[in-house]
Structure 1
């Protein structure tokens, strides 16, 4: 189910980026604004996806400290 969440959120971010691409006002800074919006969306998505997957599949298993030594 985790892969499906990543794909769904990625599709939503791609749709927002496509809308932002075409809705951006014309002018001298249009390329700069498009680049800023798309880089912001991409970096926020990557940060979310990495954090989500790191919590879902941790590299180090947590250990309980309240157990006796023989366990």
Structure 2
């Protein structure tokens, strides 16, 4: 049976990318906008991936010929 450990592993990667994006942003008037854009993009992509992955761990509709076989 599949586990939710990949969700936590990808979360760690997203947090690392967020930290790199936070500190690699050039100084200037648009620094806040760039940081916000980077973090918002990473958050939205992670949530989309995590929800899709977790929904497949326990599907509501079974892909078999007999409905009773997945219960």
TM-score, normalised relative to structure 1: 0.82
Partner of 1:28: 29
Please state how far the C-alpha of 1:64 moved relative to its aligned partner: 1.3
Number of equivalences: 65
Root mean square deviation of aligned Cα = 1.5
Partner of 2:50: 49
Larger Rg: 1
TM-score, normalised relative to structure 2: 0.82
Structure 1 runs (4+) deviating above 2 angstroms are 60-63
Please state how far the C-alpha of 1:57 moved relative to its aligned partner: 1.3
- Tell me if the contact between 2:11 and 2:46 (Cα under 8 Å) persists in the aligned partners: yes
Unaligned runs of 5+ in 1: 66-71
